[in-house]
Structure 1
Amino acid sequence: MKNWLRKHPMVRTIRVAAADLNGQARGKRVPSRFADKVVESGTRFPMSVMNLDIWGEDIDDSPLVFESGDRDGVLRPTERGFMPMPWLEAPTALLPLWMFHEDGRPFDGDPRQALRRVLERYEEKGLRPVVAVELEFYLIDDSGRSLQIPASPRSGKRRKAAEILSIRALDQFDAFFTDLYDACEAMDIPADTAISESGLGQFEINLMHSDDALRAADDAWLFKMLLKGLARRHGFAASFMAKPYEDYSGSGMHTHFSVVDKNGANIFDDGSQQGSNYLRHAVAGCLDAMADSTLIFAPHANSYERMIPGNHAPTSICWGYENRTAAVRIPSGDHRARRIEHRVAGGDVNPYLMIAAILGAAMNGIDDHAEPPEPITGNAYDQELPQVPNTWPDAVEAFASSDVMARIFAPDLIRNYIATKRQEMFYMAELDAAEQMEIYLDTV
């Protein structure tokens, strides 16, 4: 890690940061001449900082604040090391961190530690998940009283039409996407295909799969930070809000995953198009946990504007082969790449918690040798099927009372997350839609 800074002497300051429960980057600015100290000894900030609400405020009556004396945790660098921050004007480096107790134990309230905890269950069985995410987002001109698509830097015009898989829509913002891909390469974020989606100024970028799920979550977290920062340099906003426009589709974050054994063989593959027993068990686990984990997949008030039947966001708890109306889809293609696509999450999620919830649920199903219902065919929205919670309060209560979530997440994280969401619900109820939009546009 120290060598990176020595190879980049123009970097004068660094940011050291970790993801809180809402996926917000919390940390410090440090002169680069003191970076060695951070690498060797870590840094410190209060454990309560990992458990702030969406405004960045302490959680009322949290045991992490006054009850404990608001004690510090120890933040240590992740395996990622230093990377540039191309959205800032001055040469600056970012050092991602995660939190531990003073005695070296992982801090269970850290979302990255929550994912590590799930991955240990796979390691105990000699298994390793392979994960990729697809991130949908909007480019937005938020300089006026209402949101609108930014004017094209090429033509100066605003094309107010949905342009699904339009090359023209991509070309309108070619300079931005060129800078974005260059920045992803500099940060070692494996950005792959970009497409235009069905909303005004809506796009999707896929990140390449990784057999290190922590790295896949890092990639998604860092990409969100990069995209939002770089868009501002280009004079507009980028947002992962689940539903910024009432009349256009919301933004999701779909997760693809398979599982390989110690020999690198995909355990979901049995040579058939249907997939193995392991695949069915994992699907069953995902379906069983889906209602209770909706709060992870739809964590904010605005998230539930997206969860509307027939609006390209799965609301029925079901699975199917090559069926995008199902919450869990089994893509077609080479059987050796047999995988599961989990389609429920919005773009506004914390990637660490989302991937932990999905992989934890899949492992529950594998452990239990669970069997799913029959896969659906046709339009899931037209069928009588179990539904995910469609309101924020219902999702909070489902998560809070869930035995399934207790198998995936540590008790402290469950307690902290519930307290966070209940506090946010209380204060969001005092705001109108425009005020909520202003909060969510830049934060999530």
Structure 2
Amino acid sequence: MQSEESRNAAIAWLENNPQVESVRVAICDLNGVMRGKRIAADQARKALDGGMRMAYSLIGMDIWGEDIEGNPLVYSTGDSDAVCHWTGRPIVPVDWTPLPTALIPLTLAYDDGRPFPGDPRQALAEIQRRYAARGLTPVVATELEFYLFDAASNEPVGPVSPVNGRRLNADGALSIDELDAFETFISEVYAACRAQNIPVDTTIAENGVGQFEINLNHVADALKAADDAILFKRVVRGIARKHGFIASFMAKPYGDRAGSGLHVHFSLLDGDGNNVFDDGTEKGTDIMRHAVGGLLRGMAQSTLIFAPHFNSYRRLRPKSYAPTAVAWGYENRMVAIRIPGGSHKARRIEHRVAGADANPYLVLASVLGSALIGMEEACDPGQPIAMDVDSHDLPRLPSDWLAAIAAFEQGKLMQALFAPELRDAFVACKQQEADTFARKVGSFELETYMEMV
């Protein structure tokens, strides 16, 4: 249950913002899509007090919002409703819609108050509880990449520069001119993030046409870090629409340009606030290396979480700055698990596998959960890789969607991290999506084969 102080602050916000006549109440599904309802603002107390209900099966809908055939969340519950508990996040103002509104984030629970383990947010909460039981606190930051497209075009093309009216058609890695051109958009993203208590940090123009990366500052609360990432994506898409752009977090919207990733940085604090990865040297502690060992052990099994969609596997290709091998190293951006340089006091792990299309709750649950198992079992990560991974004979990530589904379904470590309610629903969802794609014949396929074979 949330504190009375938090509840009173939420009610006070609504009373002090009478221009907000409606609010959204929503949960996050397994694909990272927020699903919910629009209610009158004067009904918001009902949502804050656990009076809202939504079907358990809402968690497991496919990417098109279709019910999953044979959905275990339907047949195991009679498609009954769950209780919706407020997450405790302060009211989230939304001002890019035609009329101002707000969001109240919810999470699913049983009628007796127990968290519903099929909810991805609850899955991460359980991992966080495991850390707390060991006196450890993860400190987490995320980096999210995205593309801007011209909303007025029927084709996926780069945006028109607000400064000179010309369409972007070349890569602009670290271009200050590109940041200047899109300053109004970026500034409005920052303002919306401040209003939503999202700790935005650095922005850069990335390698692709109209591609940007915005980093979120580290927080000593993994749940908040995931909440921030989910809300950040909504902010970027909303502000982009306001400016005539489409913002996309697809992993690989252009086949011949850079993909978009969700990189996770984390360290661990003990009860005295000490970084348990820091031994005063560049090497880091045995605890850190064991955490890396756990991440490597679980990587192939959890690829479906890091690359959950058909398009995700276009990003995971050799020589693309996206990891394809199960490897780690110091200051090496070619590997999946990187130990960044810098001050030993900030010793941390960077996980580089996930695409920007992944669900942040599941990504952090898998990353932190695998690291925890690695520490508990003293997993040996092997030798760090100091050069191109292709020069080594290394285990590889699943290279296609079906292989990743099978690896997740059979993975013992995934079974140790996620409840059956979540695993079964996720597999059923991904299998249905894969079956749907398998029935679609694209234009390039027809152009290639129709008259040639």
Normalised TM-score (structure 1): 0.96
Retained in 2: the 8 A contact 1:322–1:330?
yes
The alpha carbon displacement at 1:142 in A equals 4.5
Select which of 222, 245, 248 maps to 1:236: 245
The alpha carbon displacement at 1:145 in A equals 3.7
Select which of 400, 403, 428 maps to 1:394: 403
Question: How big is each residue's C-alpha offset from its partner over 1:232-288, in whole Å with a ceiling of 9 and x where there is no partner?
Answer: 111110000000001101000000000101111100001111000110000000000
Give the direction of change, closer, same or farther, for the CA distance of 1:359–1:385 in structure 2 (3 Å limit): same
Alignment of 1:333-344 (within 5 A): 333-344=342-353
The alpha carbon displacement at 1:174 in A equals 1.2
Retained in 1: the 8 A contact 2:136–2:271?
yes
Give the direction of change, closer, same or farther, for the CA distance of 1:6–1:338 in structure 2 (3 Å limit): same
Select which of 361, 371, 375 maps to 2:370: 361
Select which of 196, 200, 215 maps to 2:209: 200
Q: Which residue of 2 aligns with 1:69?
A: 78
Q: Which residue of 1 aligns with 2:284?
A: 275
Could you list the runs of 5+ residues in structure 1 that have no partner in the other structure?
Answer: 436-444
Question: After the TM superposition, which parts of structure 1 deviate over 6 Å for at least 4 consecutive aligned residues?
Answer: none
The alpha carbon displacement at 1:208 in A equals 0.3
Q: Which residue of 2 aligns with 1:91?
A: 100
- Among all aligned residue pairs of Structure 1 and Structure 2, give the percentage whose two residues are the same amino acid: 51
Distance 2:269 2:204 in 1: 29
Distance 1:68 1:287 in 2: 36
Q: Which residue of 2 aligns with 1:252?
A: 261
Q: Which residue of 2 aligns with 1:100?
A: 109
**Which stretch of the first structure deviates more once superposed, 286-295 or 166-175?**
166-175
Select which of 331, 347, 355 maps to 1:346: 355
Q: Which residue of 1 aligns with 2:440?
A: 431
Retained in 2: the 8 A contact 1:86–1:230?
no
Select which of 139, 145, 163 maps to 1:130: 139
Letter in 2 for 1:7: N
**Which stretch of the first structure deviates more once superposed, 348-357 or 170-179?**
170-179
Task: Tell me if 1:406 matches 2:408.
Answer: no
Distance 2:150 2:443 in 1: 15
The alpha carbon displacement at 1:36 in A equals 1.4
Give the direction of change, closer, same or farther, for the CA distance of 1:375–1:433 in structure 2 (3 Å limit): farther
Retained in 1: the 8 A contact 2:151–2:244?
no
Alignment of 1:185-196 (within 5 A): 185-196=194-205
Task: Tell me if 1:139 matches 2:144.
Answer: no
Distance 1:222 1:339 in 2: 25
Q: Which residue of 2 aligns with 1:22?
A: 31
Q: Which residue of 2 aligns with 1:161?
A: 170
Give the direction of change, closer, same or farther, for the CA distance of 1:433–1:143 in structure 2 (3 Å limit): farther
Q: Which residue of 2 aligns with 1:149?
A: 158
Letter in 2 for 1:267: V
Distance 2:295 2:53 in 1: 36
Alignment of 1:280-319 (within 5 A): 280-319=289-328
Structure 2 residue matching 1:245: 3-state secondary structure: coil
Structure 2 residue matching 1:192: 3-state secondary structure: strand
Could you list the runs of 5+ residues in structure 2 that have no partner in the other structure?
Answer: 1-9, 445-453
Task: Tell me if 1:376 matches 2:385.
Answer: yes
Normalised TM-score (structure 2): 0.94
Letter in 2 for 1:390: S
Distance 1:299 1:427 in 2: 14
Aligned CA RMSD, in angstroms, stands at: 1.2
Distance 2:171 2:338 in 1: 25
Structure 1 residue matching 2:393: 3-state secondary structure: coil
Task: Tell me if 1:41 matches 2:56.
Answer: no
The alpha carbon displacement at 1:369 in A equals 1.1
Question: How big is each residue's C-alpha offset from its partner over 1:100-124, in whole Å with a ceiling of 9 and x where there is no partner?
Answer: 0011111111000000111111011
- Matched length: 435
Select which of 419, 429, 434 maps to 2:428: 419
The alpha carbon displacement at 1:197 in A equals 0.6
Letter in 2 for 1:26: R
Give the direction of change, closer, same or farther, for the CA distance of 1:87–1:372 in structure 2 (3 Å limit): same
Distance 2:74 2:312 in 1: 28
Retained in 2: the 8 A contact 1:18–1:25?
yes
Retained in 2: the 8 A contact 1:16–1:95?
yes
Q: Which residue of 2 aligns with 1:438?
A: none
Distance 1:407 1:201 in 2: 40
Structure 1 residue matching 2:105: 3-state secondary structure: strand
Letter in 2 for 1:247: D
The alpha carbon displacement at 1:433 in A equals 5.1
Q: Which residue of 2 aligns with 1:439?
A: none
Select which of 250, 255, 270 maps to 1:261: 270
Letter in 2 for 1:256: H
Letter in 1 for 2:226: A
Retained in 2: the 8 A contact 1:42–1:77?
no
Distance 1:229 1:267 in 2: 39
Distance 2:442 2:340 in 1: 37
The alpha carbon displacement at 1:81 in A equals 2.6
Distance 1:312 1:15 in 2: 38
Retained in 1: the 8 A contact 2:47–2:104?
no
Retained in 2: the 8 A contact 1:58–1:65?
no
Q: Which residue of 1 aligns with 2:68?
A: 59
Distance 1:116 1:247 in 2: 38
Distance 2:31 2:169 in 1: 32
Q: Which residue of 1 aligns with 2:6?
A: none
